[in-house]
Amino acid sequence: MRNPSPRRPGLTLMELLVVLLILVALASLLIPILPNFLGRAHNSTGADNMHEITKFVQAYQTQFFTYPDQWDAMTDGTKLVDYLPMGDNGQSVSGDLTADSLTTGEVAALKNVGITSVHLMFPTNPGTSSFSPSFNPYQDQSAIPTPTPITTSTKLAFLSPTKAYNQLNVSAQGRYVAFGLGARCTMVGRTIGEAPVTFSDEPAANPARTYVRFAVIFKVSENGSALPKASVVGCLHIATEGLHGVNAHLEEYYDIDK
């Protein structure tokens, strides 16, 4: 008759306490740096998206000999929508954007590169089930929506010249229109699969609460004179701290204290 196998002794109470103390010590080291990891991932992804969006716009222009059309206006045609991210000063995207009208020459500058229309957005959350600040913020909710022609009476989002200079290293004497890259842009399905949004660790910058797309910036005039043709000068991320460029994201990425 075989002897039964000896039972393995389990951990003693003292050994369990030692294991628990080790786990607590590891948690105390890892938990404080988890937000930093999330922030760094957010910054690196944002920088990469801006690089890619700029390339996709250029690829569209090369392939179709025109720039993409039917951008998100980020206005209702008269003023900025109120669900753009709010900065610490209580202003939409820290006051980097203002609603303004184009001159006749600036409308022509956009038209000459194929930008003729935008999709206007609800000025405020209408409270309907179909509304989404980032994914479906449009006034025209029809199955085949009709974009709004750009005219001198349509107020669009203009980027502060100072912000354009600081984030894109372009002339502070220019006028810059900021278009949101949304799902209805003609670039989607051609040179880009989907219009990206950003997913921040900040509750105020959640796509379900605010419009957190990327903005593509076009220069339409210089020193008060409209350009013959508008030119794309870059892409910026719409965030609670304002509109950020690639360099700002990379700077935050390498700052391990943020």
| For residues 157-184, average pLDDT | 94
Task: For residue 51, give the amino acid letter.
Answer: H
Mean pLDDT on 191-211:
81
Least confident segment among 70-74, 227-231, 245-249: 245-249
Q: Is the model's pLDDT at 203 over the cut of 50?
A: yes
What's the confidence (pLDDT) of residue 93? 81
Question: What distance in Å separates the CA atoms of residue 55 and residue 73, rounded to the nearest whole number?
Answer: 21
Residue 64, judged by CB atoms within 10 A of its CB (0-12, 13-18, 19+), counts as middle
pLDDT of residue 9: 61
Categorize the per-residue pLDDT at 242 as very low, low, confident or very high, splitting at 50, 70 and 90.
confident
- Picking from 99, 238, 113, the residue whose alpha carbon sits closest to that of residue 182 is 238
Higher-confidence residue: 21 or 196? 196
| Of 112, 107, 121, 16, residue with least CA distance to 61 | 112
How do the domains of the chain map onto residue ranges?
Answer: 34-254
- Mean pLDDT estimate for the chain: 84
Q: Specify the pLDDT at position 213.
A: 92
Tokens of 56: 């996709």
| Structure confidence by residue, pLDDT tens digits, 93-139 | 878 999 999 999 999 999 999 999 999 999 999 988 899 999 999 99
State what percent of residues in the chain have pLDDT above 90: 57
Per-residue pLDDT band at 253 (split at 50, 70, 90): very low
Pair of tokens at residue 6: 């000896």
Amino acid in position 69: D
Q: Tell me, what DSSP letter sits at residue 167?
A: H
As a whole number of angstroms, the distance between CA 30 and CA 27 comes to 5
* Residues 208 and 132 sit within 8 Å (Cβ to Cβ): yes
Residue 236 contacts residue 179 (beta carbons within 8 Å): no
pLDDT confidence band for 255 (50 / 70 / 90): low
pLDDT reported for residue 94:
72
Model confidence at 178: pLDDT above 60:
yes
Provide the H-helix boundaries in the chain: 13-30, 34-64, 104-111, 161-168, 246-254
